[in-house]
């Protein structure tokens, strides 16, 4: 295993071995999970095989999170530049980009050429959407970086699930306004995931389009100029998805619709759980305080963090968005999710269960201490939540 080392003038020898170094390679094998249903069906001819990738992804990752537990280790700050410059880490996310095109084409091709039930077709479309959702995660990792190659690949992979506005919206909108009521991609206490999705999906598109329109306007160009990075990505989507319809027929229209929406749902799920109820304070001049690590829910679970390129070390990511996945840190006393993302995605599907798991956890955070005025609350639920929680959590009274 590669050792990162240096001799520090004051601290002496500093040595670090990344225990996850080779686990990251598993990203190259996730296409096999996505295609495992088709493989099993080819062997046994049973349609239940198409559900296997969905079960493996959600259930398997949540199970491994439970079995493997958490990893709270961090690389020494002095060695971060060595880790960031290591080509091994840099190339892995980039290598996954073409896989997202291949997997969608293979699953769509299978769906378009085999006579299977509508339920099997739905499972195939959901599986394709699940893997394309991981593509949005790859776009997230690459889109935050400063090299033109990585940014371009981020826009390319965003095209697979027809989410070409993601990079512009996420970097310019979400990161700027995160954990404020103005952010459609930060969920509010008392807001269920379905209501959140109806606010997040259109709100994010609108904000991304406006940001790109403004950037082009400063250059004296129309929003419809070919340099519009959102339109570039959507043009690639059109080529890919219209080609699939042309080759495999009209069946591809509902197939791709389900694929796209389920890929978006992965992002919506992540956004929902990442900042639930957390709120930045306003400064005296009306601006918001800088995003701090406690403005994101963090998770250190090994399995899902490996699947998602450390996305779950979200507290450090939002505090320092351009840090690469291999150097994201865990901090003590962060808002912490009780399971990794896949387990929490599942919990979020059931709003009463979600509130039961998360609301007390949110109100008990040290910087909130039961004070709902320090929480990003759904305005429609504020009165009910105040009535419910004003008596249950004693607040520290300043004297």
Partner 1 sequence: MPIHICPDCGYAYDEALGDRREGYAPGTRFEQLPDDFVCPDCAVRAKSDFLRQDQ
CA count, 13 A, side-chain hemisphere, 154: 23
**CA 66 distance to own-chain centroid:** 20
Does residue 167 belong to the site contacting partner 1 (CB under 8 A)? Answer: no
Does residue 388 belong to the site contacting partner 1 (CB under 8 A)? Answer: no
Which of 320, 361, 381, 382 binds partner 1 (CB under 8 A)? It is 320
If the CB atoms of residues 295 and 301 are measured against partner 1, the closer one turns out to be: 295
Which of 21, 175, 361, 381 binds partner 1 (CB under 8 A)? It is 175
CA dihedral 246, 250, 251, 252 (to 10 degrees): 40
- Positive or negative CA dihedral for 216, 221, 223, 224? negative
Which of 225, 281, 290, 395 binds partner 1 (CB under 8 A)? It is 290
Contacts of 384 (CB under 8 A, 6+ apart): 190
DSSP output for 185-231: TS--BT--HHHHHHHHHHHHHHHHHHHHHHHHHHTT--TTSTT-HHH
Does residue 286 belong to the site contacting partner 1 (CB under 8 A)? Answer: no
In whole angstroms, the minimum distance from the beta carbon of 160 to partner 1 comes to 25
Does residue 127 belong to the site contacting partner 1 (CB under 8 A)? Answer: no
In whole angstroms, the minimum distance from the beta carbon of 288 to partner 1 comes to 10
Q: Is residue 127 within 8 Å of residue 54, measured between CB atoms?
A: yes
In whole angstroms, the minimum distance from the beta carbon of 285 to partner 1 comes to 9
How many chain residues are in contact with partner 1, going by CB under 8 A? 20
Helix (H) or strand (E) holding 6: strand 4-8
Site for partner 1 in 202-221 (CB under 8 A): 215-220
Query: Which x/- pattern over 219-248 shows residues binding partner 1 (rule: CB under 8 A)?
Result: xx----------------------------
If the CB atoms of residues 322 and 392 are measured against partner 1, the closer one turns out to be: 322
- Positive or negative CA dihedral for 158, 164, 168, 169? negative
Q: Which residues bind partner 1 (CB under 8 A)?
A: 144, 146, 171-172, 175-176, 215-220, 287, 290-291, 318-322
């Amino acid at each position: 295993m590669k050792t990162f080392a240096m001799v520090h003038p004051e601290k002496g020898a500093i040595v670090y071995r990344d225990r996850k170094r080779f686990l990251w390679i598993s990203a190259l094998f996730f296409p096999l999970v996505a295609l495992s249903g088709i493989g099993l069906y080819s062997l046994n001819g049973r349609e239940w095989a198409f559900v296997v990738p969905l079960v493996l992804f959600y259930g398997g990752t949540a199970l491994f999170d439970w079995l493997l537990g958490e990893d709270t280790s961090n690389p020494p700050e002095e060695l971060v530049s060595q880790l960031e410059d290591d080509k091994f880490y840099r190339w892995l996310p980039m290598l996954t980009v073409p896989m997202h095109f291949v997997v969608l084409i293979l699953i769509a091709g299978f769906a378009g050429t085999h006579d299977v039930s509508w339920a099997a077709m739905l499972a195939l479309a959901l599986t394709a959407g699940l893997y394309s959702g991981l593509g949005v995660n790859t776009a997230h990792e690459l889109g935050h970086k400063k090299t033109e190659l990585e940014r371009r690949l981020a826009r390319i992979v965003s095209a697979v699930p027809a989410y070409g506005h993601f990079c512009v919206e996420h970097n310019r909108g979400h990161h700027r306004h995160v954990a404020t009521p103005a952010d459609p991609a930060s969920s509010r206490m008392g807001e269920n995931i379905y209501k959140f999705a109806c606010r997040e999906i259109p709100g994010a598109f609108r904000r991304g389009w406006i940001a790109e329109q403004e950037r082009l306007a400063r250059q004296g160009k129309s929003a419809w100029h070919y340099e519009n990075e959102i339109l570039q990505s959507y043009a690639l989507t059109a080529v890919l998805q219209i080609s699939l319809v042309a080759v495999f027929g009209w069946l591809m229209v509902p197939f791709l619709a389900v694929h796209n929406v389920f890929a978006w749902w992965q992002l919506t799920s992540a956004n929902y759980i990442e900042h639930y109820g957390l709120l930045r304070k306003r400064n005296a001049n009306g601006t918001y305080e800088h995003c701090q690590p406690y403005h994101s829910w963090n998770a250190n679970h090994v399995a899902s963090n490996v699947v998602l390129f450390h996305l779950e070390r979200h507290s450090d990511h939002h505090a320092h968005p351009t840090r690469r996945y291999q150097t994201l840190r865990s901090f003590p006393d962060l808002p912490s999710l009780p399971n990794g993302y896949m387990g929490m995605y599942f919990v979020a599907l059931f709003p009463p269960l979600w509130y039961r798991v998360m609301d007390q956890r949110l109100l008990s955070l040290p910087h909130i201490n039961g004070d709902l005025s320090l929480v990003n609350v759904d305005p429609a639920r504020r009165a009910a939540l105040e009535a419910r929680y004003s008596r249950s959590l004693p607040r520290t009274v300043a004297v």
